[in-house]
Amino acid sequence: MTQSIVVQVGQCGNQIGCRFWDLALREHAAVNKKGIYDEALCSFFRNTNSRADAGGADVQRGRICSLKARAVIIDMEEGVVNEILQGPLRDLFDSAQFITDVSGSGNNWAVGHKLYGGQYRDQIVEKLRRTAEQCDCLQCFFVIHSMGGGTGSGLGTFVLNILEDEFPEVYRFVTSVYPSAEDDVITSPYNSVLAMRELTEHADCVLPIENQSLVDIVNKINQMTNCGKLGAVKPNSLVTSNIGGVKESEKPFDAMNNIVANLLLNLTSSARFEGPLNMDLNEITMNLVPFPHLHYLTSSLTPLYTLADVNVPTRRLDQMFSDAFNKDHQLIRADPKHSLYLACALMVRGNVHISDLRRNIERLV
């Protein structure tokens, strides 16, 4: 199995990254009850337990311990990073994985890209190299950042340049959060335009996410659960739910970030678990990117919750196929019904019959 490294940059990148690590750990703990350090865990985590060969990692409170995330954590402010260092995920990272400054980039792309980029280049290269050396077969970098701030957009895209220079063979997947129209950062449109040019030039694949879409999905789920329209929903099955709660109190972006973390969780599932129908991550770009620069992929997510009663699998699957092309399930504000797909990939997780998949694909085309 191959390995991937997550590079989380800026406030938004780190907050989403942490939700991803939390969910990934829980997912592994749910199927790997003994907490054995296996190939699946190796894809995104490394083991620090010296007894690894004898038995592997151990499990405590539903979480697998003695693991470190294959991640590089960058923020030019200390706030979010300090929260991580004091939070429940603190054991998942060691100090060698962090790069921080104190003042932040002041929502200015140029400060992140030009000033901090030049200043921190060597440190970033060194930390990336060290993380890469701990992999047997490094396949992908996942960069997570926002387009609206200064550090995520400026330094995040600078890191992308470094990755291209230093690791030209390794795929660069970027998850970019675009600001909503009501964004309180005045410079966010400028930062986004400047960052987008870099994404076009230096990424292999970009998953654009619009904050407004996330807000709409969160509102829709809240509305449906509040008015009891959903019937019996399986507890903690909402994509917005902060399962188990990393923090005691939920912060404003948490529900939105859970949606993005779920998207990444699903996208990487075939890299994180063995399966007969799995696909390689680089097959995504190989099959969906028609020209090198046309590498922006819109994404959608369904179901947004799981019903307690799972007795209607076929109908549910049909509904999920329809929902995947419904504008309410898109993570950017686009209506697939009024657009044209050049290529499309449907990733399905769970026990489904191939015949049901075929029937639905035929129904849709």
- The residue whose two tokens read 């369904």 is 302
By beta-carbon distance, which residue lies closest to ligand GTP? 149
CB contact set of 28 (below 8 Å; sequence gap of 6+): 40, 41, 45, 64, 272
Report how far residue 316's alpha carbon sits from residue 255's, in angstroms, rounded to the nearest whole number.
24
Q: Measured from the CB of residue 152, what is the shortest distance to Mg ion in angstroms?
A: 7
Please list every residue from 182 through 211 that binds Mg ion, using CB under 5 A: none
Looking at 7-15, 252-260, 263-271, 274-282, which segment touches Mg ion (CB under 5 A)? 7-15
- The residue whose two tokens read 């939105």 is 256
Report how far residue 248's alpha carbon sits from residue 251's, in angstroms, rounded to the nearest whole number.
9
106: contact with ligand GTP by CB under 6 A: yes
Secondary structure class of 92 (helix, strand, coil): helix
Task: Out of 22, 77, 204, 210, name the contact with ligand GTP by CB under 6 A.
Answer: 77
Secondary structure class of 171 (helix, strand, coil): strand
- Binding mask of the shown chain, residues 10 to 49, with x at each position contacting Mg ion by CB under 5 A: -x--------------------------------------
11: contact with ligand GTP by CB under 6 A: yes
Q: Measured from the CB of residue 112, what is the shortest distance to Mg ion in angstroms?
A: 9
Report how far residue 170's alpha carbon sits from residue 17's, in angstroms, rounded to the nearest whole number.
20
**Residue 58: burial class (beta carbons within 10 Å; 0-12, 13-18, 19+):** middle
Task: Out of 13, 17, 56, 104, name the contact with Mg ion by CB under 5 A.
Answer: 104
Task: Out of 43, 139, 151, 258, name the contact with ligand GTP by CB under 6 A.
Answer: 151
Q: How many residues bind ligand GTP (CB under 6 A)?
A: 28
- Binding mask of the shown chain, residues 55 to 84, with x at each position contacting Mg ion by CB under 5 A: ----------------------x-------
Task: Out of 56, 117, 152, 208, name the contact with ligand GTP by CB under 6 A.
Answer: 152
User: Residue 131: which of ligand GTP, Mg ion, none does it interact with, CB under 5 to 8 A by kind?
Assistant: none
Report how far residue 166's alpha carbon sits from residue 127's, in angstroms, rounded to the nearest whole number.
12
User: Residue 253: which of Mg ion, ligand GTP, none does it interact with, CB under 5 to 8 A by kind?
Assistant: ligand GTP
Secondary structure class of 279 (helix, strand, coil): coil
- Binding mask of the shown chain, residues 22 to 51, with x at each position contacting ligand GTP by CB under 6 A: ------------------------------
CB contact set of 306 (below 8 Å; sequence gap of 6+): 233, 234, 237
CB 49 within 8 A of CB 11: no
196: contact with ligand GTP by CB under 6 A: no
For ligand GTP, give the closer residue by CB, 49 or 212: 212
For ligand GTP, give the closer residue by CB, 3 or 258: 258
Please list every residue from 209 through 238 that binds ligand GTP, using CB under 6 A: 211, 214
Residue 87 CA to its chain's centroid (Å): 20
E strand or H helix at 128, and its extent?
Answer: helix 117-133
Rg of the chain taking only CA atoms, in angstroms = 20
- Which DSSP symbol is given to 337? G
- Any idea what the Cα angle at residue 74 is, between residues 73 and 79, rounded to 5°? 95
Task: Out of 4, 8, 107, 176, name the contact with ligand GTP by CB under 6 A.
Answer: 107
CB 24 within 8 A of CB 272: yes
Report how far residue 266's alpha carbon sits from residue 311's, in angstroms, rounded to the nearest whole number.
23
Report how far residue 10's alpha carbon sits from residue 176's, in angstroms, rounded to the nearest whole number.
12
Looking at 91-99, 251-259, 283-291, 338-346, which segment touches ligand GTP (CB under 6 A)? 251-259
For ligand GTP, give the closer residue by CB, 281 or 331: 331
Structure tokens at 14: 């780190």
Task: Out of 196, 206, 256, 324, name the contact with ligand GTP by CB under 6 A.
Answer: 256
Task: Out of 4, 8, 105, 360, name the contact with ligand GTP by CB under 6 A.
Answer: 105
Q: Measured from the CB of residue 218, what is the shortest distance to Mg ion in angstroms?
A: 22
Report how far residue 299's alpha carbon sits from residue 363's, in angstroms, rounded to the nearest whole number.
20
Task: Out of 17, 56, 117, 150, name the contact with ligand GTP by CB under 6 A.
Answer: 150
Contacts to Mg ion by CB under 5 A: 11, 77, 104
